[in-house]
Structure 1
Amino acid sequence: MTEAVPSWRRRAISVAAMRELARAALPRPVFDFADGGAEDELTLRRNESAFDDIDLLPRPLSGAATRDLSVDLLGKKLSLPVIVGPTGLGGLFWPDGERCAARAAASAGTAYCLSHGSVCTLEQLAGTGVSPRWMQVFIYRDRGFTRELTERAATASYDALVLTTDNQMLGNRERDLRNGFTIPPRFGATGLAGMALKAEWLWRMRKELPRITFGNYVRPGEASDIKSLAGRMSQLLDPAMHWGDVDALRKLWTGPLILKGILHPDEAKMAVSRGVDALIVSNHGGRQLDGAASGLDALPAIVDAVDGRIPVLVDGGIRRGTDVVKALALGAKACLIGRPQLWGVAVAGEAGVARVLEIFAQEIDRAMGLCGVTRIDQIDNSLLLKQRIGQGS
């Protein structure tokens, strides 16, 4: 007897559809926590609209009966050029959300990056055995804590360290302010009255909400509630970080070191000269500096600056397989997704993230076939309409 297809899966025909399913499933403050950006959200919107300024120029007579979506990155072969990027508090959207997403990424044959602000600890994530797994760190005022997280990641055999550089001050995320967003979420009588349609989320999370915390920041003998830890995290951020801190981290971490948050080509050149192994062109999903360039708009200059010496990745606004193809054509080695995997985990946990990655794989494969491309390394700027490239960047 054929097993019935879940109703959510029948409706999850695209990443945009998954977003709407997540909107329906989550309380508004929780949905907006993932979905929102900084201030007027100009950069958030530009992250997506930048892809509209790039046109593909297919060559269907090249012949592409079969397509290979795999890519070699930092000594690992990935089944597709889409990586699950770091997003905080995945466990707020589904019980054990980070490990659900990591297992989905591993099943799809791609990498997963754990956020510093995850609910589970980095050791708990490593306990799943998923690979490749990356760990996100910051440069903190307490450099000893940066060292501590780095050493823990090494002990837990993480495959790469991702130093995020654009979170040295917290962005002004006005949706969260308007919603009075708190963690764990608290709802007054009026709010609770309007929660009937979110009953499934409330029931699913009933045991999780009181225990949600930032797992990697819990220390023996110190307060472990999320309010205390959130305050400590904000105090740890250091706007005085500098290249000397990157040098120190490079000496400490012997595996692949990736810098995330690069938008300026001069910083890309500096990173190469200091032994960084890869870059992620990123504006933190439009959640930090509103008005910052989109990742796609900044990408070509970064690629030129690096000149093939290290791989360049990009994130921000990637919602379609064609977005991935356009980014690769502009010189990216692979793309990272943040919000799409959170929408997936909010809808169906591991199965939801698996569906998001499946959608990307299907759309990339279709785009490659229609463009006459059989391998990822054949995707270059010859697939792009040049006039539009100049207008959009």
Structure 2
Amino acid sequence: MSWIYNSDYPSVDDLRNKAKSKMPRFAFEYLDGGCNEDVNLFRNTDDIRALELLPYYLKDFKEASLKTELFGHTYDAPFGVAPVGLQGLIWPNAPEILAKAAFEHNVPFILSTVSTASIERIMEITEGNAWYQLYHPAEELIKDDIINRAEASGCKVLVILCDVPSFGFRPRDIRNGLAMPPKMSVRNMLQIVGRPEWALRTLFHGQPAFETMKPYMPKGLNMKQLGLYMNRTFSGRLNADRIASIRDKWKGKLVLKGVATEEDTQMAINLGLDGIIVSNHGGRQLDAGQSAIKPLIQIASQYKDKIKVMMDSGIRSGPDIARTISAGAEFTFLGRTFMYGVGALGDKGGNHTMSMLKTQLKQVMDQVGCEKIEDLSKHLS
């Protein structure tokens, strides 16, 4: 697919600013914010951007290739779409837009359990090439049924989440009524009126709902009841027994997301997992924690030959992808960047953002004289 992007929005900041002007404030702040005082939200990106690459201008150089092999599939770039909750609230039909773009660009899309499209719909769009992220349900029957549905729909990679043992304390969401349980205030309704395109698209696509969870939910819940139900339904703290149970049941590739320590990496290896995503949930869970890139460097240096090491959190641009891979990640995922793209450009936002990132990343590789993604580590200063 050709890398065509809208030259009016050549940067992530351009997309973010446009998206902010088109979304109701409560939706944009849900996407844009971190937790507590946003310390780790900004630290994530700042620490990535403190890394420097060395250019070798006089070496023999033919052409840079972004192709990256992961779990037996050769992707066209070393990045994918990270799981994001409530995507259809942030921008109507967002998961479908991004899944379609990811399939066309041959990069992975990860669907969150608490997104607004069903497993079946996303696997249909991507012909089974999407990944599915499981929030661990409290009830074993629901957990087993979701895993069975993912397998039946053709999913090959299951991601289990370990960094949400509690809901993050997010002041913006609390003020906006998007905490658990949620509420829709008069202020929120006025914000919707001020964003007519968002409102009309929501009207066209329908009120966003937790589509994957619909079969398990009582009908006719109001927003407060829905919030209480979701709070009761998920038990986010994983342990070795829970992971082992999923490993026994799931025959495809199994990835643990939210890893932040060498100890948890070793446990993932001991339990037979295929990969980890080093992450701090985009700075939305633990403001007092490290940035994601810091443990990534240590984990990759020690465990890269034993398990696939990937990373999300704080990666915003093509140069950020290059820096993260140079530090040891074998693959990267971005969440907010793609949602800014969809919020800014609607149905064209996914293709635009992926083309933009590919162009930015290839420019970095051409500039430093790196022909293959796996050689970026040789350019780390």
TM-score normalised to structure 2 length? 0.93
Alignment check: 8 A CA contact 2:160 2:255 kept: yes
Equivalent residue in structure 2 for 1:214, among 181, 196, 210: 210
Matched, 1:338 2:335: yes
TM-fit CA distance, 1:177: 1.3
Q: Does structure 2 conserve the Cα–Cα contact (< 8 Å) formed by 1:91 and 1:118? A: yes
The match for 2:356 among 351, 355, 359 is 359
Establish whether residue 71 from structure 1 lines up as the match of residue 68 from structure 2: yes
Alignment partner, residue 49 of structure 1: 46
Per-residue CA distance 1:5-48 (angstroms, 9 max, x = gap): 9xx93421111211111111101110001111111111111111
Aligned residue for 1:95? Answer: 92
Letter in 2 for 1:215: E
Q: Is the 8 A contact 2:34 2:285 kept in 1?
A: yes
How far 1:147 moved relative to its partner? Answer: 1.5
* Partner residue of 1:155 out of 132, 152, 156: 152
Out of 97, 113, 118, the residue aligned to residue 115 of structure 2 is 118
User: What secondary structure is seen at the aligned counterpart in 2 of 1:336?
Assistant: strand
Judging changes above 3 Å, is the alpha-carbon distance between structure 1 residues 10 and 136 closer, same or farther for their aligned structure 2 residues? same
Contact 1:263 1:298 in 2 (8 A): yes
Is the 2:177–2:185 Cα contact (8 Å) retained in structure 1?
A: no
AA in 1 matched with 2:9: A
- Answer whether contact 1:27 1:198 (CA < 8 A) is retained: yes
- Match among 301, 304, 307 for residue 304 of structure 1: 301
Say yes or no: does 1:276 pair with 2:261: no
SS in 1 for 2:58: helix
What is the letter of the counterpart of residue 68 of structure 2? V
Distance 1:91 1:16 in 2: 22
1:272 deviates by 0.9
CA contact (8 A) 2:86 2:116 kept: yes
Residue number in structure 2 paired with 1:242: 239
Partner of 2:200 in structure 1?
203
**Does residue 349 in structure 1 map to residue 317 in structure 2?**
no
**Aligned in 2, Cα 1:334/1:222: closer, same or farther, shift over 3 Å?**
same
Q: Which amino acid in 2 is paired with 1:340?
A: T
Partner of 1:383: 379
Decide whether aligned partners of structure 1 residues 285 and 329 sit closer, same or farther in structure 2, where only a CA change above 3 A counts: same
Number of the residue aligned with 1:40 = 37
The residue number in structure 2 matching 1:390 is: none
SS in 2 for 1:219: helix
Change in 2 beyond 3 A, CA 1:224/1:70: farther
Aligned equivalents of 1:354, 1:48: Cα separation in 2: 23
Structure 1: gaps spanning 5 or more residues: 386-393
Question: Matched residue of 2:203: which SS?
Answer: coil
| Distance in 2 (alpha carbons) for counterparts of 1:173 and 1:112 | 26
The 3 A distance-change label for structure 1 pair 55 and 147 is same
Q: Distance in 2 between matches of 1:346 and 1:310?
A: 35
Which residue number in structure 2 is paired with residue 9 of structure 1? 6
Partner in structure 1 of residue 83 of structure 2: 86
State the one-letter code of the partner of 2:210: F
Aligned partners of 2:222 and 2:74: how far apart in 1? 37
Which residue does the alignment assign to 1:106? 103
Backbone CA RMSD of aligned residues: 2.2
Per-residue CA deviations over 1:71-104 (Å, capped at 9, x if unaligned) read: 0001111000011111112222333221111000
SS in 2 for 1:318: coil
Distance 1:367 1:224, change over 3 A: farther
Structure 2: distance between partners of 1:315 and 1:231 = 29
Q: Distance in 2 between matches of 1:185 and 1:353?
A: 30
Measure, in 1, the Cα distance between the counterparts of 2:216 and 2:288: 41
**Is the contact made by 2:44 and 2:313 (CA closer than 8 Å) also made in structure 1?**
yes
1:223-256 CA-to-partner distances (Å, cap 9, x unmatched) read 2647233322212332553111110100000000
The runs of 5 or more residues in structure 2 that have no matched partner are: none
348 and 130 in structure 1: CA distance in 2 versus 1, 3 angstrom threshold: farther
Give % identity: 27
Aligned amino acid, residue 313 of structure 1: M
How far has the Cα of 1:119 moved from its partner? 1.3
For the 8 Å contact 2:61–2:370, the answer to whether it is kept is yes
Q: Is the 8 A contact 1:89 1:119 kept in 2?
A: yes
SS in 2 for 1:206: helix
Q: 1:19 to 1:105 in 2, by over 3 A?
A: same
Q: Which digits, 9 at most, give the CA deviation of each residue in 1:182-201, with x for residues without a partner?
A: 7998452x665565651221
Number of aligned positions between the proteins = 376
Rounded to whole Å, the distance in 2 between the matches of 1:357 and 1:97 is 14
Letter in 2 for 1:214: F
Matched, 1:140 2:137: yes
